[in-house]
Every structure is written in structure tokens, then in C-alpha cells.
A and B are shown apart, each in its own frame.
Chain A
Amino acid sequence: MTDPGDSDGKVEISFSVNGQRKTVRAYPMERLLDVLRCRLQLTGAKEGCGEGECGSCAVLMDGLLVNSCLVPVLQAEGSKILTIEGIAEGETLHVLQKAFLEFGGAQCGICTPGMILAALHLLNGHAEPTTEQIQEGLAGNLCRCTGYSQIIEAVAEAAHRRTTS
């Protein structure tokens, strides 16, 4: 972080997004969500409620699941951010993305990016989660279309495929 006293109040903030180093000039209290969407054109993270209830804006920050609508960008200085755009390897979908497609985990798709990141965070901590652990792991993410069953099935299947492949 440099020139904190810049006249327009903006500061330079650097962090890594999906493995690429990025430097942005932004107001320190700007929401990470807005910086990702508007300054870095990473529009996969969505705003659903703006108060950390719905999880549509979820990203991983240094491996932790955060609601990017609640993170001032200043806090991201020096961190490693992973967004939905960084999950697949080229055109090869991540095992979670494949399972969401196969099991009907995405309907309208607006909660899907956050849901997949929450699921990834869960699988990073629990290789073979129980249904209760999946429900708990996704409890910060709201979906109005699916009633969650097909999402939970997708996450269980992805976990299974990861441990058996």
C-alpha cells in the first residue's frame, strides 16, 4: 500500500486474484465486491443483499470464505483471492462445477458462484463431509430456486469423486 495521503482519498492496493497479481487504486473502504466487479471486471461474484446474509458475493481470501460485500478492500492488501473465474483449469471444469451441472445444483445461477466457493471451502476442510456438514458449510449461502437438495447432492458427489480419483 502506498500514497495513503493521495488527494482524492484513493490508495494503491495490491493482492493476488486467481493467481494473478493485481494493483488497484481504490478508496480504502470500498467493498472488495465492487473492486472485483467494477475495477477488475470479475463479475462472477454477485450482490444479493449487501449485508452478508445471502453469500452470493462469497470468495476465498487466503483460503477463508468471506462475503466480499463486507470486506473493505484495504483488508485485501497482500492477500490471495480466489473467485469463481479462477476455479476451472482453462476449459476443464472443476469437479464441483461438473457436479453442479450434473445434479441440478444451478437453476437461475445467481447464487451458484458463491455456493461453489462455499462448497470448495468446505471440501478443503472436510474431504468427505456428512450431509449435516454440507448443510452447515453452505448455511451462509441462500438459494431460492433449488430447495438445496440438488446442491447438497452435487457437493457430496464432488467430494466422493475427489477422494476416489
Chain B
Amino acid sequence: MNHESIVGHSVPRKEGRDKVTGRSQYVDDMVLPNMLFGATVRSQIPRGRITKIKFSPGIPWDQFVIVSAKDIPGKNCISLIGDDQPCLANELINHPEEPILLLAHPDRHILPKAVESVKIEYDPLPAIFTIEESERRSEIVWGEDNIFKTYLIEKGDVDAIWVKADHIVEGQYTTGAQEQLYIENNGMIAQFDDACGITVWGSLQCPYYIHKALMALCSLPAEKVRVVQMETGGAFGGKEEYPSMIAAHAALLAIKSGKPVKIIYDRMEDMAATTKRHPSRTRHRTAVTKDGKILGGEIEFTIDGGAYLTLSPVVLSRGAIHAGGPYYWPSVRIHAKALATNAPPHGAFRGFGAPQSLFALERHMDRIAQVVGLSSVEIRRRNFLQPGQTTTTEQVIREPINLEKLLDHALELSDYHSKKQRFANENRLGNIRHGMGIATFLHGAGFTGSGERYLSSVVGVEGCADGSVRVLVSSTEFGQGTKTVLSQIAAEALALPYEYVSMAQPDTLKVPNSGPTVASRTVMVVGKLVQSAALGIRQTLISSNLLAETYTAEEFRAACQRYVAEHGEFRSRARYEAPPDIFWDDVKYRGEAYAAFAWAVYIAEVTVDLTTYSVSVDDFVALQEVGKVLHPLLAKGQIIGGVAQAIGFSLYEKVVWQNGRMQNCQMTNYIMPTPSDLPPIRVFFEELGNVHGAYGAKGIGELPMDGPAPAIVNAVEDALGVSFDFIPLLPEDIMDWLAASSEKNDVIPAGGVR
């Protein structure tokens, strides 16, 4: 056998050719005969009761298929963690843009006018829109107390440390909502017939989430619900839970009309109605010694979940577990709380709570440094987790991670010290200020705690009649490279060329449930299963005496062909089994939170222009340890793309709310970075082996979302000497703050502030 390693090499993207030629089929590219187009009538108010629905004249209503809550065959809910979110509002409205009625018609151009012509009258109820209003409980909008979920993480005796502290440092930090802004809007097609049941094709991340939701909604058995993923034009978490709602709507229209129905959101509907990143507020109170050692602290992490439960408990959990960052806390108490408001539900978005709590922590570390009189570098160095120490959930760090070394390397790559000194001198004059900022952080890969055990994912690898190999997973491709990397892993395990491996289209009728494509779990968890299922194929061929222990690709092909000819279907399956040393207590929220952490040091260099108040990022160093890098080009692309999205989160992307409704739901007024807005994003990997992932890989997808915001805002503080504790940080915020500060003589900018 003469086999060169495939993992670790940048093989061609599996579906790349179709993407660059425009042949890839996204859901809106698919047309079925006699297909109708569907649209959604939504609430115009944040909270109240529907009193009347009127169909205005001027629309040929008899040509429309109209669906209301009464048409739902099963349970009127989008089944996920809880069953509180209706598929269609029946009487009560809990947020703007809540779906009430569905319309379908053969001409998609008539639909917007028809939607406008449905007049809904309401009996309004008082609504709440902020974390503070929800906490005050002047209105109870969900359950008995507006609280979706709380967690308490406790380590050591926090109450005993305050008297021992040389300094007690407090801070409050907030982050805003953020739109995922995948360039392909959400869309689904549904078709129904009595024999096959319901089939949906769509833009989505998690086929089996939709499968579950449709079974409950339509009262159909598992085999009568089929979910197929089309090529998906970006997701970032934004196509994790809401596609179940759209699939449900398309399915209801298809059942009632007896025809296929396509629902494609336009950009405004997608931005206004679907999920965004949870707004957050984090409070820190930290006890430190005069040497800058953390003795312990209290962290209060609160997120705004919007009107329904959706995934908020899980987002909260990840945010809370990451709130202590990559530091050693001898004692800590973390209170985490997800609250209800009357905004459309917030949901999954790359990072999943961690970007919020880590923004707070990494800003707070700089604040502690100032109070103690240490540098941003030194305060981190003195508190880094060391192998053998425990995290806030008392997970022992078993990897030989050396964060000091990682930090030193990043400082060198960014030329941190000499730039910092030069900027300090230059910043005394003129209206252009420069600054350097650091963030050090971690991101846990895979589902939290017992999550992977509950998921119990299954993958299949199939030996095909032509002697090639096909990977069967419900894990989806939406740009990040799932198809390519899982193919690499199968090829590597079987010692076959990459071209011998293909990927089945995710289709619940044909692929097992390998779990949702979320939580940086695909390469590490699903990849490991693909590796073992592939080895099963090899083992079967060897034990059937069709193949020797070592073989050429052609010998494998011949053996596989023969096996299929003799036995028919040739599949090997692998199911997740939790490593024996992983312990997690769901009640105390203690134990091994993640099978592996990725570690990173990011350094931002910024310029603040005091004439325009704009911040630009001039250089960005992203150094991380993510285990073995299986595909360097894709991995680098993930990091650069994540950093770019996080620069948007920090400096550009502000959701403007009014009564729970997004006001700027267009690409014209919700601003994401363009090609001219971004610095060189310099990506570096250090590789430590990881025993849990395929070929030593850990998760990577979410990590780059966590660090840029605090690094950038820390750099802005370095440039201006002003502390900003919120994002997004827009030029108008800087203008207001500096104007207020100069009135109080807190800050005297050299060039003056106009």
C-alpha cells in the first residue's frame, strides 16, 4: 500500500465545481410542477389578542389557499426543547412578526399585496422589550416569572474571599442583537400525498430537528415525514431552529392545497422575523490580590431570549460555562438567566452565548489590569489555566496547553510591544489615535455536558456497487466544508484516494441521524464516527477474505464491488459512545463540560479618527490551537470569515429596535463589512493532538466569533483612554462619549473634540 496522508492537505472542495459554475441547486432554484407560492401574514403588534381578521376587497381571495391555526392536523407548536411556540398564533400574540395566517397562490408576485390586504384587529396588551423590564416583572409575558431558564455554577467558597482581596473590581458589559445575514434567505418547498406523507426540501442546518417538528405538527409517524437539505447559502446558526417554522408553514399549505408549495423569504422578512443573536448583560465582581491574581468572583450572565423558549436554555448554558474564560478561578459563582421579552425569539448564532460572556470577561480583564496597575498582557499571564487545574465547572485540564507560550507567540506576530510603545507616544498629538488590544479565550467543542450522550449520533458509510464509498450523515454543508472534511476522514481511514469518497445528500429517508450541524461538533464528533464506520467497511472486506490487510485502491474497489454483488447492501454504522472518563452533573452543572477546548489569542490593532469618530481595524492576528488542522485552506477560511463577522458584531452591526420590531431590516441600513472594511486577518495555528476527535481535530467553527469584539474594544480603549463596555460600538457612540467626557474634563483629547 502506497498511501499518502489526505488529512492535513487542502484537497478540492467536494461541491466546489458546482458552486463556481452556478450549477448548485439551492431551494429557490428548484421548481416542481403545479407549484404554488406561499406567504406569511404576521402580527403588527408586540403583544395582545387577535379580535378580528378581515380580508379586504380587491384581491381574488377565491384563488388563494388560506391556512390558519385551525387547519393544523396535530399540535400547534414548533417542537424543540419546549412546546411553547405556536406554529400559527391562534388568539394570543407575543411578539411582532408572529405568524398568524398563511396564503398560497400560483403567482408569487400577487402575494405581497394579498398579505397587506389581510387586516388584523387586536386588543393590545402591555409589552416589555429589555432585560431590565423583564426582571422588574411589571408584566409577566412568559410562565410565572418571565424566566426561561437559570443556571448556578459554584466552585469553592466565594463568600470567604472578599475579605482577603486587595482589590474588588466591578463592571457591567452589554452586547446587542446581531443578524446572521447569510446571503441566501430562508426558504422551503413542501409536498404532500397520502402515500408518502410530507416531504420538505430546504435551506437548513438540522434535518432531524425539522423532522421532529413536522411529526408533532402533522401527527405523522416518522416514516411519513421526509426532510431533504438543498445546497444552503450560509447559515451561521440562523438556520438551526427557524427553518422548522418555515417547513411547518409550507407543509400546512401543501396539505391543504394538495400541491407543492414554495416559501422563500425576502430579505426584509428574513431579517425582521427570524432569529438573531441574544442581546446580553454581564456583571462581574472580582476579588484580586495586589499581584493581580484572581481569588474569585461573582458573574451574573443574563440574556434576552425574546418571546418563546426556543434554544435559549442551551445558549445560556454555553455562555455561562464560557464566562470564566481561559483563567483559573479558585472560587467562582456564576448566575445565569435567560429572560422573556416581546421581541421575536433570539436564537442560535455562531458562538452561541460565548461571544457575549467572553466580551464581558475580556473587557473586565483589562479593567482589572488597570485597577491593579498591571499591563493587559501581564494580568492574563498571571491567571491562565494550567494543565492539571480546573475550569469553573471543575473540569480538569488534561491537555498540555501552554497559554503563556501562545500569548508570547501572538505578541511577537503582532509586534505588540513596540507598536504599543510607539502608539503611546504618537497618540499625544493629532486626531488620529492608534491602539492595541488583546483577547485570550477558549471555545468548547461539541454539545455541552451530557449533550452528546443524549444525541447518541449515528453515521453510516456505504460501500457502493461501483466500488466507491459514500458517507451517510445528516450533517449539513453550508459553506464550512462538511462534505470535504468528512470525505477526507473516510478516505484517510480506508487508505483510498479522496475522489473515491462521495457524500450522500442529507435526506432523512436515506441518512441516519448524525445530530445537528452546530456547536463546532461536526469534525470532532461526527468525523470520529465517520472514521470508525469507514474502518468497519475495511474490516468487513478483510474478514470476508476479499481484501488483504494492505491493499491498493484498485484492489479495494474490486473487493467492494464483489461484496455488494454477493451480499447486496453494504453499510457500516457507528454510534457515539461517551468516553468513560467524562463526567457531568446536570443538576449541579459541574464536571466535564466539553470533550475538548480550542484555545486562542487574538490581537487587534485599531485606528480611531477623532474627526469622523470612526474605528478601523488595521491589523488582526488570530492565533489558535485547534488540534490537528485537517484542511488548512478551509480552516483558515473559517477563521477569517468568523473574525470578519465578529468585526461586524463589534463595530458595524446594530439592530435598531422599536417596540420589539427591527427597524433596519435591509442590507442598506443594517451594515455588514464589505471587502474594503476589513484588515488583513492573519491566521496562525498551533497544533496539539486531541484524543477525542478524528485524527486529533477539535472544533473550529465558532471559536473566531468569540475573541475579536473584546480585542477591538480593548484596542479602542488603548487608543483613547476611554472605556467602552458595550457593542456594537458605533461612531456616534464614540462622539457622544467623548463629548460628555470632555465636558467633564475626564479626557482632554489633544486635537480637541468638535
Cα separation A83 to B267 with both chains bound (whole Å): 23
* 0/1 interface trace, chain B 16-52, chain A, CB 8 Å (1 if under): 1111111111101100000000000000000000000
Partner of B233 from A110, A148, A152 at Cβ < 8 Å? A110
Q: Is the interface of B mostly helix, strand, loop or mixed?
A: loop
Does B509 sit at the interface, judged by CB under 8 A?
A: no
Q: Contacts A101-B17, A147-B640, A147-B641 hold; do A142 and B22 have CB atoms under 8 A apart?
A: no
Q: Are B479 and A135 in contact (CB under 8 A)?
A: no
Pick from A2-10, A50-58, A71-79 the stretch touching chain B: A50-58
Give the interface size class of chain A. Answer: 35 or more
Q: Are B667 and A54 in contact (CB under 8 A)?
A: yes
Q: Chain B nearest CB: distance from A106 CB in Å?
A: 4
Does B675 sit at the interface, judged by CB under 8 A?
A: yes
Does A62 sit at the interface, judged by CB under 8 A?
A: no
Does B672 sit at the interface, judged by CB under 8 A?
A: yes
Q: Are B479 and A145 in contact (CB under 8 A)?
A: yes
Q: Are A108 and B644 in contact (CB under 8 A)?
A: no
Q: Which residues of chain A are near B26, meaning CB under 8 Å?
A: 43, 46, 110
Q: Chain B nearest CB: distance from A41 CB in Å?
A: 8
Q: Are B13 and A142 in contact (CB under 8 A)?
A: no
* 0/1 interface trace, chain A 87-108, chain B, CB 8 Å (1 if under): 1100001000100111111111
Does B12 sit at the interface, judged by CB under 8 A?
A: yes
Q: Contacts A146-B640, A146-B641, A152-B675 hold; do A104 and B634 have CB atoms under 8 A apart?
A: yes
Q: Are A108 and B233 in contact (CB under 8 A)?
A: yes
Q: Are A101 and B675 in contact (CB under 8 A)?
A: no
Give B627-641 interface residues, CB cut-off 8 Å to A. 633-634, 636-637, 640-641
Does B195 sit at the interface, judged by CB under 8 A?
A: no
Q: Which residues of chain B are near A47, meaning CB under 8 Å?
A: 28, 185, 266
Q: Which residues of chain B are near A143, meaning CB under 8 Å?
A: 183, 675
Closest to B481 in A: A107
Cα separation A111 to B184 with both chains bound (whole Å): 8
Q: Are A44 and B23 in contact (CB under 8 A)?
A: yes
Closest to A42 in B: B22
* 0/1 interface trace, chain B 521-558, chain A, CB 8 Å (1 if under): 00000000000000000000000000000000000000
Q: Which residues of chain A are near B644, meaning CB under 8 Å?
A: 146-148
Does B401 sit at the interface, judged by CB under 8 A?
A: no
Q: Are B640 and A107 in contact (CB under 8 A)?
A: no
Cα separation A138 to B676 with both chains bound (whole Å): 9
Closest to A154 in B: B20
* 0/1 interface trace, chain B 654-684, chain A, CB 8 Å (1 if under): 0000000000001110001111101011000
Partner of B12 from A101, A138, A142 at Cβ < 8 Å? A101
Q: Which residues of chain A are near B17, meaning CB under 8 Å?
A: 93, 101
Q: Are A141 and B675 in contact (CB under 8 A)?
A: yes
* 0/1 interface trace, chain B 380-419, chain A, CB 8 Å (1 if under): 0000000000000000000000000000000000000000
Closest to A140 in B: B674
Give A119-165 interface residues, CB cut-off 8 Å to B. 134-136, 138-139, 141-152
Cα separation A148 to B637 with both chains bound (whole Å): 9
Q: Are B183 and A104 in contact (CB under 8 A)?
A: no
Give B170-188 interface residues, CB cut-off 8 Å to A. 180-185
Does B625 sit at the interface, judged by CB under 8 A?
A: no
Q: Chain B nearest CB: distance from A8 CB in Å?
A: 12
Does B645 sit at the interface, judged by CB under 8 A?
A: yes
Q: Which residues of chain A are near B232, meaning CB under 8 Å?
A: 108
Q: Are B479 and A100 in contact (CB under 8 A)?
A: no
Q: Which residues of chain A are near B645, meaning CB under 8 Å?
A: 144, 147
Does A116 sit at the interface, judged by CB under 8 A?
A: yes
Q: Are B19 and A112 in contact (CB under 8 A)?
A: yes
Closest to B644 in A: A147
Does B643 sit at the interface, judged by CB under 8 A?
A: yes
Q: Chain B nearest CB: distance from A9 CB in Å?
A: 12
Q: Contacts A49-B666, A51-B666, A149-B640 hold; do A93 and B20 have CB atoms under 8 A apart?
A: yes
Which one of A42, A110, A146, A152 has the highest number of Cβ atoms from chain B below 10 Å of its Cβ?
A110
Cα separation A97 to B12 with both chains bound (whole Å): 13
Q: Are A112 and B20 in contact (CB under 8 A)?
A: yes
Q: Contacts A104-B636, A108-B233, A108-B234 hold; do A148 and B675 have CB atoms under 8 A apart?
A: yes
Q: Chain B nearest CB: distance from A84 CB in Å?
A: 4
Q: Are A53 and B667 in contact (CB under 8 A)?
A: yes
Does B619 sit at the interface, judged by CB under 8 A?
A: no
Partner of A51 from B22, B668, B675 at Cβ < 8 Å? B668
Q: Chain A nearest CB: distance from B188 CB in Å?
A: 16
Q: Contacts A107-B641, A144-B182, A144-B183 hold; do A151 and B675 have CB atoms under 8 A apart?
A: yes
Q: Which residues of chain A are near B668, meaning CB under 8 Å?
A: 51, 53
Q: Are B479 and A109 in contact (CB under 8 A)?
A: yes
Q: Which residues of chain B are near A111, meaning CB under 8 Å?
A: 183, 233
Does B15 sit at the interface, judged by CB under 8 A?
A: yes
Q: Which residues of chain B are near A149, meaning CB under 8 Å?
A: 640, 678, 680-681
Does B478 sit at the interface, judged by CB under 8 A?
A: yes
Q: Are B640 and A144 in contact (CB under 8 A)?
A: no
Q: Are B15 and A109 in contact (CB under 8 A)?
A: yes
Give A3-55 interface residues, CB cut-off 8 Å to B. 37, 42-51, 53-54
Does B231 sit at the interface, judged by CB under 8 A?
A: yes
Which one of A105, A135, A142, A148 has the highest number of Cβ atoms from chain B below 10 Å of its Cβ?
A148
Cα separation A60 to B19 with both chains bound (whole Å): 19
Does B480 sit at the interface, judged by CB under 8 A?
A: yes
Cα separation A42 to B266 with both chains bound (whole Å): 20
Q: Contacts A85-B22, A106-B13, A109-B233 hold; do A147 and B643 have CB atoms under 8 A apart?
A: yes
Q: Which residues of chain B are near A43, meaning CB under 8 Å?
A: 22, 25-26, 28-29
Q: Are B20 and A106 in contact (CB under 8 A)?
A: yes
Q: Are B667 and A142 in contact (CB under 8 A)?
A: yes
Partner of A142 from B180, B183, B643 at Cβ < 8 Å? B183
Q: Which residues of chain A are near B447, meaning CB under 8 Å?
A: none
Does B236 sit at the interface, judged by CB under 8 A?
A: yes
Q: Which residues of chain A are near B185, meaning CB under 8 Å?
A: 47-48
Q: Can you give 29 contacting A-B residue pairs, CB < 8 Å?
A: A37-B29, A45-B22, A46-B184, A47-B266, A51-B668, A54-B667, A84-B21, A93-B17, A93-B21, A104-B633, A105-B20, A107-B480, A108-B184, A108-B232, A108-B478, A109-B20, A110-B26, A112-B19, A113-B22, A135-B675, A142-B672, A143-B675, A144-B180, A144-B672, A145-B234, A146-B644, A147-B637, A148-B644, A149-B678
Return the 8 tightest CB-CB contacts between A and B, nearest first. A44-B22, A110-B233, A147-B644, A108-B479, A109-B19, A84-B22, A107-B479, A53-B667
Other 20 A-B pairs with CB < 8 A, given A49-B666, A109-B231, A142-B183: A46-B184, A48-B667, A49-B667, A54-B667, A84-B22, A101-B16, A103-B633, A104-B13, A104-B633, A104-B634, A107-B480, A112-B22, A145-B479, A146-B641, A147-B641, A147-B643, A148-B678, A149-B678, A149-B680, A151-B675
User: CB within 8 Å of B: which residues of A?
Assistant: 37, 42-51, 53-54, 56, 83-85, 87-88, 93, 97, 100-113, 116, 134-136, 138-139, 141-152
